[in-house]
Chains A and B, each alone.
Chain A
Amino acid sequence: MKRQTRRLDRQPGEVIDRGSPLEFGWNGRSYPAYAGDTIASALAACGERVFSRSFKYHRRRGLLTASYTDPGCIVQVGDEPNVRGAHRLVTPGMDVRSQDTWPSLAFDVKAANELVGRFLPAGFYYKTFIRPRPLWPTYERVLRRFSHGGVVSPDPLSPELSSYDKRQVHPDVLVAGGGPAGMTAAVAAARAGARVMLVEEEHSLGGHLRWGDKADLAALHDLRSLLAASGVEVLTNSVVFGRYDHNHVAIVQRGLPHVYERLVKARAKTLVVSPGLIERPYVFAGNDVPGVMLSTAVRRLINLYAVKPGDRAVVLTANPQGDAAVVDLERAGVEVAHVVDARGGDDLVRVLGRGGVKGVELVGGHRIECDLVVTAVGWTAPLTLLTMAGTVAAYDSRAARYFPGTATLPDDVLPAGGVVGDGTLDELVAHADAVGREAARRAGSMSRREPAAEIPALPVDAHPELFHGPTHGIVDFSEDVSSRDLLTAVEEGYSSAELAKRYTTATMGPTQGKLESVNVVAIIAEATGRTISQTGTTTWRPPYAPVTLGALAGRHREPVRYSPMHPWHERHGAAPLVAGAWIRPDHYGDPAGEVLAVRERVGIIDVTPIGKLDLRGPDVPKLLNLLYVNRWSKLEVGRVRYGVMCAEDGVVLDDGVTGRLGDQHYLMSTTSSGAASVWEWVESWLQTEHPGWQVHVTPVTTSYASINVAGPRSRELLGRVVAEIDLTPQAFPYMHVRTGRVAGVDGCVLWRIGFTGELSFELHVPASYGLHVWETLLDSGNDLGVRAFGIEAQRILRLEKGHLIVGQDTDGLTQAFSAGLDGLIRLDKDDFVGRSELVWQAEAAAESRLVGLHPNDASVVPEEGSQLIEAGVICGRVTSSRWSPTLHRSICLAQVATEFAEPGTLVTVRLPDGRSVPATVTEHLASVDPEGARLRG
């Protein structure tokens, strides 16, 4: 096992627990660590410096920021790709591997790319591999091998990687960022009476105070005590990744027991944005060699993880934080060979060494041996959440960073801390305290008469503008984009920041611009002779931090609907059919037998998913006249009528029957798949076009269980279970509706209609009695030969009868006349939806018609979707086809061009297997009982 050769003695602010040692694996070898170590800190403590290979050139990469955004330490953990090794805590036995290296991290064959690096400039791909064209697929396969990232597996994930969760919260004040500003604001808001949630990306609160001096640590201790007593809910290892409209704030929470990631959705009354600042890398030759780190990275390593980051360092500093890093390094026993003070105009020229830092070259050619180069050249404000809230970022050249334009922020978003200024800790606390109180006031947690808190503005420190040195170096570490690439892009005309970004792919990688965005803009500005303000910035798009698909999806349970009769279906071997939201019985093992039972005796089918809308009010006839193409003004109480709805473009939308149950009471039925959309359609017309109409709509699809009783003996069967309703043909004719008691259940609706073409009654019974009525019907009809039938039998029956199915025999193109609904359409009634289109269609005559079709060879059942082809031109298609057990032959419905629609026309059907078979257009859509005698019996 490796030893922790670079672990320092106990540090005052360290976050590791030396009492809890553990072991984990790195590329197959065992490494020691302490609880609290990140993968990167544990490896660094054992002297490891190289964690990955770069994207294009496969250069060795080490730690740069030692934080979540570190591009050099993205690793594979078990089945999990792209894990941020400088953020993820090690756990016992964790299997960590470097990504995308072959055969090993130390010796990577693809590093040969580096040798040809000068042949891989920006836009290289666009300029090469063009000819010969047939070879591009081969080139592409090679290129794809260079794609970067971890490995996903098609196998099911382990339980710890496959449980996700969501939580909804409604805090008064949500604070994004748990540094000193965020902690102070949270405490102040809570003291003002607000319910507060504080979210911090790292594993502990405190921001930069955690790696500060004694005074900082003391202040942090006090802040933590205040916070603990405040009642603020704190989420650590969690990130606010998006601020959407009306302060709908998305948070990803990690590291929970048994839940890999949780999406917390907060509807916050006020959002405080206090993410602090991100240290910016410096662009110069060799700036990506392992051993070149930011000042915050070395301070984190030393103070949080007690890791000695090198033995001999050169520090480039332009700010007090860089100076503090020098102090930290010396305290940790690192020899500081030289401090390059950028404030005095000094600069670094290049890093010496390839696999690791061996030294640096200063201006004038002076070289210094070292194994660590530290840069502290400035800060980037992460403005994503604020720009999502509408702010426009403005560059301040005096401070060398962007600031949010607060004038453009909505009232419910308040920035705090480093994103708006600098100042001493006392100034920061005073400012954040006022922000917290104001946030609570705006959230309504304080009396309305409370005056707005005066938020003291933070001073803004001057900072030299330092983006790059005298040599070219890497700008985007994840994408391997250099400053030279950016210049090339500008020279070739990609001179706007957005074009240069897309051309070079700078800022497109996993860090999404957090480290490199300002450097990119600065370098482009310089190359084009513009200022940074004129050049603008690249867009910060959500999410602020990457979030797993698992967390976004949550438990991703798609709800399923079952009818009350479902247990019976399951007990009787029903084959399940997924029909949108519903699972329905397709058949019970013998669809042909089920068909014959209906034709010869009686069958019952569960049609609960049929859409049902209860319509009440004096203006229901107006609504029906508006939405159906046929006439509805004179429907009498006790009658039902079939209706077809069209969209405004005349395309058939839905069909169904509607019955009049009382003077101002109707029950509308829709297709099963149209249940939800027709309800929306009805409401949309009522609410937007006719708000004055008195119609009350209640969707009752699942309030009723629906059963169709069909077959010549259906009246006899129903007679045994119905009380007080006269079922005789004279008393209850075809297309009539009755209400009453069925099998002892009151409040049932019966209508006499016939999708199957047989004498049939459709029962709508209160859902909780559905199973009871179903079983009673079966028990009462044993001697009649009653049998349950499924969807497949129903489809055969309706096809034999020639009844169309909207969406099958019609489609998104079929207009009402093509669907053969001529007799139904009433162009002479007042305006209705689709009328103007239908008038045109009536004038133009439909281009196609729905017809019945019989293949001349009765044994051939053409697959639905087969095309009708005459003289090489498509002239129609088979929309429905089945073997008819009643007729012992194949039957079809087809949409055909009008010139082929005459009964008796011979057409050619091309089967999917390429064969062509002749078929004949039939006289009627119906193959069985076209006159409807059985139906009306």
Chain B
Amino acid sequence: MVIVGGGVHGLATAYYLARNHGITNVAVLEKSYIGSGGSGRNTAILRSNYLTPDGVRFYDRSLKLYERLAAELNYNVMFSRRGHLTLAHNDSSLRTMRWRAEVNKASGVDSEVIGPADIKKLVPFMDTSERARYPILGALYHPPGGIIRHDAVVWGYARAADAMGVHVHQDTELTGIDVEQGRVTGVRTSRGSIATRVVVNCTAGWSTLVANLAGVRLPVQTFPLQAAVTEPVRPFLDTVVVSGTLHVYVSQTDRGELVFGASVDPFASYSTRGTLEFVEGLAGHVLQLMPSLSTLRLLRQWAGLCDMTPDFAPIMGHTEVDGFLVDVGWGTYGFKAGPVAGETMAECVATGRTPELISAFGLRRFADGSLVGEKGAAAVGH
């Protein structure tokens, strides 16, 4: 079978196909180098403190897979479980934090609402005073959340899949999907053709274009999401900090750099260039949270592409074309879901049945009107 996209989703799918189902006659097609898309451009934050019980269950499985990934792949993916703070600057977001904490607790996930004094203890640089323009009223604290070395996840899956016989083809762009009488029969690439009965679309940014090759339309719009990194300084920030009101999330890597992300750009686009407006707004928001960081210098900015669906939930599983499966529409949270998406897609492909964990994410829901409800939590949630 053929997997399109050499990011964490495609490589994890290939890995679990080989490991869990013994299917190794698999080609992963990557038009650039592995991890060159969203997998290498995200801000590598992991968490499972979602809003709906289904979301919590799904991402908690992903977090558990991530936790044991290093040992399983014999490759240190440097999962740094350092705690995750989502700040509330007004009573309405505090109410949502309480709601999330209660849903999490009911699902056995460690989350609680903490007050400004406890926030200050966790992040001494934070302006928790009442003078702040958007005073911090509290936060959702999620100790199991953290960051990971995203490239290492990609490389670890690729190496392990390769060792079991999977072929990873870099610099190989998909140019066509052959469909006969509603069935996939093969693919064409910039480096030749492959006969296959199964094609799994694990792309982001180009998922609609790949699906079009099979004649499948996806309700997906592509938006850039920008990020930036500063020069390194000595460690001072141990937790991941997210502020929905200020549209920013911050963490400090083991190398000492601060990594910043935000919500998606307001307009659909395929551009991966950064904008000046973004870094200006970002810097202003970071300094509202931590005013003494004015002298810290921004080193690099970039953008990745996010495929947004109408209900902010992914599209997974079979399509109307027999043998053409999708694992797309991951919005801004695809990286967090890499392992669980790979595991469930592999099962879906290998058994022909849709695992219960992803049964709500089928493409048909947009025709049936049974949308998934994680929109409230996913809008700005990193």
Q: Which of A857-872 contact B (CB under 8 A)?
A: 863-867, 869
- Which of B177-185, B317-325, B330-338, B368-376 faces chain A? B368-376
Q: A152 and B70 in contact (CB under 8 A), knowing A541-B274, A649-B310?
A: no
Cβ-defined contact, B102 with A498, below 8 A: no
CB neighbours (8 Å) of B133 from chain A are 558, 560, 578
Asked if A496 contacts B170 (CB within 8 A), the reply is: yes
Q: Residue among A136, A543, A549, A844 with the most chain B CB within 10 A?
A: A549
- Residues B101 and A865 in contact, CB atoms below 8 Å apart: yes
A contact residues around B40 at 8 Å (CB): 502
Residue interface mask B200-225, A partner, CB < 8 A = 1: 00000000000000000000000000
> Which residues of the partner chain A approach B53 to less than 8 Å between Cβ atoms?
874
A648 to B70, CA, bound (A): 43
Q: Report how many A-B pairs have Cβ atoms within 8 Å.
A: 256
Give a binary string over A58-83; 1 marks a CB under 8 Å from any B CB, 0 the rest: 00000000000000000000011110
B255:A140 contact, CB within 8 angstroms:
no
Query: B283–A912 contact, CB under 8 A?
Result: no
Choice from A130, A551, A841, A863 contacting B71 with Cβ under 8 Å: A130
Do residues B235 and A147 form an inter-chain contact, with CB atoms below 8 A? Answer: yes
Contact B292 A552 (CB under 8 A): no
Given contacts A556-B284, A578-B134, A865-B97, contact A546 B292 (CB under 8 A): no
Q: Say whether A19 faces chain B, with CB atoms less than 8 Å apart.
A: no
Identify B292's interface contact among A145, A152, A560, A579, CB under 8 A.
A152
Q: Does B302 have its Cβ within 8 Å of any Cβ on chain A?
A: yes
A126 contacts chain B at the CB level, 8 A cutoff: yes
Annotate A231-252 by CB proximity to B: 1 below 8 A, 0 otherwise. 0000000000010110010100
Q: State A133–B78 Cα separation when bound (angstroms).
A: 11
- Bound together, the chains give a CA A509 to CA B235 distance in angstroms of 16
Given A151-B233, A151-B234, A865-B102: A549 and B292 interface contact (C-beta under 8 Å): no
The size bracket of the interface on B is 35 or more
B286 touches A866 (CB 8 A): no
B75 located at the interface, meaning its Cβ lies under 8 Å from any Cβ of chain A in the complex = yes
Contact present for B283 and A80 (CB under 8 Å): no
Chain B residue at smallest Cβ distance from A149: B232
Q: In the complex, what residue of chain A is closest to B233 when comparing beta carbons?
A: A149
| Contact for B287 among A265, A509, A547, A553, CB less than 8 A | A553
CB neighbours of A560 from chain B (8 A): 133
Give the docked Cα–Cα distance between A912 and B296 (Å). Answer: 39
Residues of A within 8 A of B102 (CB): 865-867, 877, 910, 912
Query: Is B25 among interface residues, defined by CB-CB distance under 8 A?
Result: no
Partner of B234, one of A147, A512, A812, A864: A147
The reply to whether the CB of A840 lies closer than 8 angstroms to some CB of chain B is yes
- Rounded to whole angstroms, the CA-CA distance of A3 and B76 in the bound complex is 51
Q: Residues of B contacting A512 with CB < 8 Å? A: 299-300
Interface residues of A in 72-123 (CB under 8 A from B): 79-82, 100
Assess A812 versus B255: contact at CB under 8 Å? Given A81-B295, A867-B106.
no
Do B33 and A541 have beta carbons less than 8 Å apart?
no
A152-B295 in contact given A126-B152, A140-B254, A840-B369 (Cβ < 8 Å): yes
Query: How many Å lie between the Cα of A133 and that of B70 in the bound state?
Result: 8
Which of chain B's residues have a CB closer than 8 A to the CB of A80? 295
Once bound together, how far apart are the Cα atoms of A494 and B33, in whole Å?
9
* Minimum distance in angstroms from B152 CB to a CB of chain A: 5
Residue on A nearest B53 in the bound complex, by CB: A874
In the complex the two chains form, what is the Cα distance from A157 to B273 in whole Å? 33
When distances are taken between beta carbons in the complex, the residues of chain A under 8 Å from B297 are: 82, 546-549
| Chain B nearest CB, measured from A295 CB (Å) | 28
A340 within 8 A of partner (CB) = no
**How far, in angstroms, from A737 to B149 measured CA to CA in the complex?**
61
How far, in Å, is B64 (CB) from chain A's closest CB? 13
- Indicate which residue in A136, A265, A877 contacts B99 across the interface (CB closer than 8 Å): A877
Contact indicator A81/B98 (Cβ below 8 Å): no
Query: A498 to B233, Cβ gap below 8 A?
Result: no
Is the beta-carbon distance between A149 and B231 smaller than 8 angstroms? yes
User: In chain A, residues 138-160, which have Cβ atoms closer than 8 Å to a Cβ of chain B?
Assistant: 140, 143-145, 147-157
Verify B113–A149 contact, CB threshold 8 A: no
CB nearest neighbor in B for A162: B294
Which residues of B sit under 8 angstroms from A125, Cβ to Cβ?
A: 76, 78, 149
Contact of A496 among B33, B80, B95, B302 (CB under 8 A): B33
**Is B81 part of the contact surface with A, judged by Cβ < 8 Å?**
yes
Q: B68 near A: Cβ within 8 Å?
A: yes
Q: Which of B337-377 contact A (CB under 8 A)?
A: 368-371, 373, 375-377
- A740 interfacial by beta-carbon distance below 8 Å: no
Over the window 261-296 of chain B, the binary record of Cβ atoms lying under 8 Å from chain A Cβ atoms (1 yes, 0 no) is 000000000000111100110111011101111111
Cross-chain contact A807 with B298 (CB below 8 angstroms): no
Question: Are B98 and A152 within 8 A (Cβ)?
Answer: no
- Is the pair A152, B113 in contact by a Cβ cutoff of 8 Å? no
Given A813-B373, A865-B97, do A154 and B292 touch, yes or no (CB 8 Å)?
A: yes
- Is residue A811 within 8 Å, beta carbon to beta carbon, of the partner chain? yes
Q: Report the separation of the CA atoms of residues A381 and B4 in the bound assembly, to the nearest whole angstrom.
A: 37
CB within 8 Å of B: which A550-605 residues: 550-554, 556, 558, 560, 578-580
A161 touches B295 (CB 8 A): yes
Complex Cα distance, B97 from A877, in Å, reads 13
Q: Which among A127, A149, A510 has the highest number of chain B CB atoms within 10 Å?
A: A149
Q: A148-B256, A844-B369 given as contacts; is B236 within 8 A of A130 (CB)?
A: no
Are the CB atoms of B92 and A807 closer together than 8 Å?
A: yes
How far, in angstroms, from A80 to B255 measured CA to CA in the complex?
19
Instruction: Encode contact with B along A821-844: 1 for CB under 8 Å, 0 otherwise.
Output: 000000000000000110011001
Q: Choose among B231, B286, B300, B379 the residue that contacts A541 (Cβ–Cβ < 8 A).
A: B300
Leading 5 A-B pairs by shortest Cβ distance:
A865-B98, A812-B376, A840-B369, A550-B294, A147-B256
In the assembled complex, 7 residue pairs joining A and B whose CB atoms fall closer than 8 Å, in A order, are A133-B68, A144-B256, A250-B276, A493-B159, A541-B300, A550-B295, A558-B134
What 10 additional pairs, Cβ within 8 angstroms, besides A140-B80, A865-B101?
Answer: A82-B233, A140-B254, A147-B235, A148-B256, A150-B233, A248-B276, A510-B232, A542-B274, A844-B369, A864-B95
